[in-house]
Amino acid sequence: MNYKRTIKIPVHYNVTKSKLNKLDKLTARLTSGTQLFLNIIEETDCCTRFNLVAYEQEIKNKTKLSSGYIQQCKDKAIWMYKGYKKLHKNWEKKLSKSKGIYYQKLLQREPSFPKVNKKISVRLDYRTLKIKFPNLSFFPLWFDISSLKKFNKIMIPLNPSYYHLLRLQQGRIIDCELIKKDKYYLHITCEYYTPLQPIRNIRSIDLGINRSVTTVLYTSVNNQINILKECEKKHRLEQFDNLIAILQNLKKWNKLKRIRKKRANFIEDQERKLANYIATISQNSIF
């Protein structure tokens, strides 16, 4: 069985300003190329790759991008248009079934044609971007990306963790996306292969409050019932609740903003660890 996962890795903080300026110019032109393709799709109502080939040279002359970047901008525009058509189809279906005031409200919620108001990411493949693993201790991961000049590439260091490097080595890299929020991130899509496991048992799971998880096997094997209470998790949640209540009474809103996601993140982390533990004791069971 094959499955895909996206790994988010930040660009290293020691990258030079000149390289960041080149990335800014490149992403701006990619956004412009995508918008030009969207304009052509809106005017001609053709959204197939074959029909848009005739406009590639025109957009290439305007944006000064290479052929690989132009085709990736075209794919992004087609993907955005198909998403718009799907939303519009669902809207028309709801509109045909509505009456009265709901009909008037739905008329005001018609999905609009996609337009680019800020920088967007384009999926980059091996033609324009490559991931490299040099034998360096300080910069263990790099990517080289084609610049606006022909036969000139930019080497950008990444700042991965041990988990990132492990996941990249285990899978096959398909494509990437260069996204800028507060700084640049590289989203790498990898494909992994997992062999199918035979089903031996049936296990039911019950989620509770005092008891986090209770699992029961429906076959005659040892350890048929497992109860996980997690007293430490309950105690930690009580500490979060008491801290939030104290800060609310003192009206310390700045400190509340700092910890508003800590409780949710702690629960999510504990549930992930709990799911991994149940998977290890599942004995190839179906849930």
Domain that holds residue 91: 2-192
Q: Is the pLDDT of residue 265 over 90?
A: no
Residues 155, 93 within the same domain = yes
Residues 171, 218 within the same domain = no
Of the candidates 143, 161, 192, which is a domain's last residue? 192
Rounded to the nearest integer, the mean pLDDT of the chain is: 85
Residues 90, 150 within the same domain = yes
Q: Is the pLDDT of residue 109 over 70?
A: yes
Residues 245, 281 within the same domain = yes
**Element spanning 262, H or E:** helix 262-280
Cα distance between residue 8 and residue 190, in whole Å: 11
- Partners of 3 in beta bridges: 192
Residues 212, 162 within the same domain = no
- Partners of 132 in beta bridges: 142
234 torsion bin: left (phi>0), alpha (psi -120 to 50), beta (else):
alpha
The pair of structure tokens assigned to 275 is 């799911």
Residues 175, 206 within the same domain = no
Residue with tokens 């189809």: 89
pLDDT at 194: 81
Residues 185, 276 within the same domain = no
Of the candidates 167, 192, 217, which is a domain's last residue? 192
pLDDT at 82: 93
Strands 213-217 and 153-157: unpaired
* Total of domains in the chain: 2
Residues 120, 238 within the same domain = no
pLDDT, one tens digit per residue, over 36-49 is: 999 999 998 888 88
- As a whole number of angstroms, the longest Cα–Cα distance in the chain is 72
Residues 225, 113 within the same domain = no
pLDDT, one tens digit per residue, over 137-173 is: 678 899 999 988 888 889 999 999 999 999 999 999 9
Count Cβ atoms below 10 Å from residue 18 Cβ, excluding itself: 9
Residues 182, 273 within the same domain = no
Question: In sequence order, which residues have a C-beta less than 8 Å from that of residue 179 and are 6 or more positions away?
Answer: 121, 185, 186, 187
Q: Is the pLDDT of residue 7 over 90?
A: yes
Residues 260, 118 within the same domain = no
Contact present, 38 and 181 (Cβ < 8 Å): no
Residues 177, 253 within the same domain = no
Strands 142-146 and 201-207: unpaired
Strands 285-286 and 184-193: unpaired
pLDDT, one tens digit per residue, over 189-226 is: 999 988 776 666 676 766 665 666 666 666 655 555 55
The pair of structure tokens assigned to 110 is 């018609």
Of the candidates 169, 192, 215, which is a domain's last residue? 192
Residue with tokens 């400190």: 255
Cα distance between residue 287 and residue 285, in whole Å: 6
283 torsion bin: left (phi>0), alpha (psi -120 to 50), beta (else):
left
Cα distance between residue 25 and residue 29, in whole Å: 6
Contact present, 280 and 198 (Cβ < 8 Å): no
Strand order in the sheet with 201-207: 225-228, 213-217, 201-207, 285-286
